Homo-oligomer: A and B are copies of this chain.
Amino acid sequence: MANAQPGKPLDLAAIKVACANCNLHNLCLPLGIDTGDIDRLDDIINRKRPLARGEFLFQAGAPFHAIYAIRSGSVKSFTATEDGQEQITGFHLPGELVGLDAISSDTHNCSARALETTSVCEIPYSQLEELSSHVPSLQRQLLRVMSREILQDEHMMMLLGRKAADERLAAMLMSMSHRFKQRGFSPREFHLSMSRNDIGNYLGLAVETVSRLFTRFQEDGLLETERKHVRILDLTRLSVLAGANRISPDE
């Protein structure tokens, strides 16, 4: 959002956004890496033309050769079930990496698609691997990022396995709120780039349930929505709902 679209086309100097200048670099791979080493990381990264909404970053089945860092915009990644329907496995905001699950198989197992106009950094994996074996702090950060991904997925498994519909939506909204805050945006008021359908799919719920929950949350004074724009009125109550809620009536 911050460093999108240069004023003039073909102005390469303006397009050139070094990791060192990127205001996401403390959310992304460069975190904790020396300026000198950041430049070397910088050299292997390709900044691609922005993707339009709906465009694929990569598709399942395609050979794996790079991971991607979101620079601006947002992306959903999803796998296809055997019977053809999709299951969304994550929404990705600026500074986050996409494609880490392909490393083990040399093939993309999920597809990634832009939810809005999105620009990304392409990081060729073989070069990243090579570089990280010479830059311990990069190796360290890469392993940390992957570990964090595992942690998040485990959290998601708990959400899908144990939580009721309202808790799932609350948790998802809290996660968004938190991540927007990390990126310098308001934690109480933001724009959801994904459709209700996508939210439902991600949370293992029917679209109708998501819709009904949004209206119920509004009736309860938790938040206000105007289409995809969300304003959270009671962050505390929402976070409680996202966490412990399943209380027996008598305790």
Contacts and interface: CB of A to CB of B under 8 A. Distances in A.
A102 B144 CA distance: 9
Interface in A72-103: 79, 81-83, 85, 87, 89, 100-103
A162 B105 contact: no
Contact of A101 (B82, B83, B100, B151): B151
A79 B139 contact: no
A224 B111 CA distance: 39
A243 B100 contact: no
A79 B244 contact: no
A101 B149 CA distance: 8
Interface in A121-166: 129, 132-133, 136, 139-140, 142-151, 153-158, 160-162
Contacts of A203: 161
Interface residues of A, number: 49
B154 A110 contact: yes
Contacts of A133: 133, 136, 139
A13 interface: no
Contacts of A150: 100-101, 146, 149-150, 153
Contacts of A157: 87, 89, 153, 156-157, 160
A147 B143 CA distance: 10
Q: Which 8 A-B pairs have the closest CB atoms?
A: A161-B204, A153-B153, A103-B147, A160-B160, A104-B147, A82-B244, A104-B148, A83-B244
Given A85-B162, A104-B151, 5 more contacts: A101-B150, A103-B144, A110-B154, A132-B139, A157-B157
Interface of A: 79, 81-83, 85, 87, 89, 100-105, 109-110, 129, 132-133, 136, 139-140, 142-151, 153-158, 160-162, 201-204, 243-247
5 contacts: A81-B158, A83-B243, A109-B151, A146-B147, A160-B161
